[in-house]
Copies of this chain bind each other. A is one copy, B any other.
Amino acid sequence: MTMGEEVLFVDRRVKFIYNGVAQVALPQPEQTPFEQDLNLFILQNGNYGHHNMSSQKVISTAIETATHTLFEQNFVPWKFHPRHSNFEPAMNASCTYIRTVHLEQTDVDPANVTKPLAGDVDESYSLSIATDGQVTITAASSIGIAHGLTTFTQLFYKHSSGSVYTPYTPVDITDAPMFQHRGLNMDVSRVWYSPADVIRMIDALAYNKFNRLHLHITDAQSWPLEIPALPMLAEKGSYREGLTYSPSTMAYIQDYGASRGVEVILEIDMPGHTSSIAYSYPELIAAFNEKDWSKYAAEPPSGTLKLNSTAVTNFLDTLFDDLLPRVLPYSSYFHTGGDEVNVNAYTLDDTVRSNDTAILQPLMQAFVDRAHAKVRAAGLTPIAWEEMLLTWNLTLGSDVVIQTWQSDEAVAETVSKGHKALVGNYNYWQYYPYNDYCAPLHNWRVMYAYDPLNGVPANLTHLVLGGEVHIWSEQTDPVNIDRQVWPRACAAAEVLWSGAKDEQGQNRSQITASPRLSEMRERLVARGIGAEPIQMPFCTQNGTQCAL
């Protein structure tokens, strides 16, 4: 990557040429209300099951987003220059303007470009900006072009006059991600988030080149996901009428992510974390809402799907048959959960009546085998939490991706068993440590210090697909989620994209990271994301002086 010090402005009527074809600029509404979009989406697609994604849609969306970002969501960078300094470039007749951006896609997209398995899509890109205003973004895939456009916008600032400029030309960037799975796990069960909250999160994720949004969509506390074949589930299991996700809403969210390179992955956590099913189907849940909950669960309410029950099997068949066909157009994965199963709950399970793992383990094996068979039959790849492999010692298909969360050792152990792994050690990348969910936030420095490959043998690093940061909702809701996640997740995004080590094999410098992260925070705020400040203006105005 090289960047110079010449100034270039962008013409407000800048044209985008994609593989030689000028792209039609869409009229930009000031803000797109979710309802309006949703209606439009349903209108265009006829019904929620119809998948209408294309490389052209990815490109069009990326151009639309880049234009909106450059001209409507930009910021004057006064915080990054000495106080009362004259930091803005002079504007006069001799200014050079960018009038055209050339987008050159070198390969044809794979059919699953918006719902890849890890590694299916080449996300790399190169970006050059010449001092005469020539701009070219080259990539193998439409997603790579989109990443290039995102980077392009991040080189520009708003001028007090309203113009948009970059002080960094000539620019020559060649860029590619180190990890293929770069995600956020968002808990939309303990608290309900509006579709507008979720798509705001997708916008922020895409802007940070995350490519997965894992929705932890059901849990013990509420069941917001509407399942038309099992209507009582959400009707009784939601917190309140209206606090649910309908199939059309889900399709809108999935489609919104897909067209921005963010694959939406759904998780139905099981067999634990399912007590909200008891509001509609009490006969399926053991140990529901026991007063002495800490004996049966990590937090209230306790409850788990019965482990040896035909009724549960039938219920899950109905659930999967209804839900998975609506997942398939938008994702190649389905997450069956599997964390924190409490064996004591099965002492109250009339189909088991035991907490002896020798009895429980074969039942769990059968339970998970059935679930994963359904997932595969629907054309999807299963993901499961680490406990299924490492605590319960289940034999899982080699296709199953294991999401680790408890330690670095869990990653090493998972890949040593030949499984693909996702990282996200909760000591670094989870917003609330599980054993004390009222405990402090994890500072961005802790997140930045995390190496996904820590302790992984060199010959097995290819099995580490990437990782996810986690936002659980015990003390988070729509009012504060932006500031809980951002800008700290930017630190994880950088580790997942560029790796934890720099070119010299050293941990990346937190000193040089702090101004970068502060600028990213201002860019997020300009986009309507309520990201926290990590430094006061005195620090941002003085380089790295405060970052000792």
| Bound CA–CA A240/B84 (angstroms) | 6
| Chain B binder among A19-27, A130-138, A475-483 | A475-483
Q: Is A532 an interface residue (CB 8 A)?
A: yes
| Chain B binder among A259-267, A387-395, A437-445, A448-456 | A437-445
6 contacting pairs across A/B (C-beta < 8 A)? A83-B222, A300-B538, A300-B539, A301-B542, A438-B445, A475-B533
Q: Is A299 an interface residue (CB 8 A)?
A: yes
Q: Which chain A residues in 504-548 approach chain B with CB under 8 Å? A: 525, 530-539, 541-542, 545-546, 548
Q: Is A61 an interface residue (CB 8 A)?
A: no
Interface residues of chain A: helix, strand, loop or mixed (majority): loop
Q: Which chain A residues in 75-89 approach chain B with CB under 8 Å? A: 78-79, 83-84
| Bound CA–CA A480/B239 (angstroms) | 27
| Bound CA–CA A279/B542 (angstroms) | 14
Residues of B within 8 A of A190 (CB): 536-538
Interface residues of A (CB under 8 A from B): 78-79, 83-84, 190-192, 220-222, 236, 238-241, 279, 293-294, 299-301, 438-441, 443, 445, 473-477, 479-480, 483, 525, 530-539, 541-542, 545-546, 548
What is the CB-to-nearest-CB distance from A237 to chain B, in angstroms, rounded to a whole number? Answer: 8
Q: Given known contacts A221-B538, A222-B537, A300-B538, is B475 in contact with A532 (CB within 8 Å)? A: yes
Residues of B within 8 A of A301 (CB): 538, 542, 545
Residues of B within 8 A of A241 (CB): 84
What is the CB-to-nearest-CB distance from A150 to chain B, in angstroms, rounded to a whole number? Answer: 22
A441 adjacent to B441 (CB under 8 Å):
yes
Residues of B within 8 A of A279 (CB): 83
Q: Given known contacts A222-B538, A536-B473, A537-B222, is B479 in contact with A299 (CB within 8 Å)? A: no
A475 adjacent to B535 (CB under 8 Å):
yes
What is the CB-to-nearest-CB distance from A374 to chain B, in angstroms, rounded to a whole number? Answer: 29
Closest 5 CB pairs of A and B: A440-B440, A221-B538, A190-B536, A477-B533, A480-B532
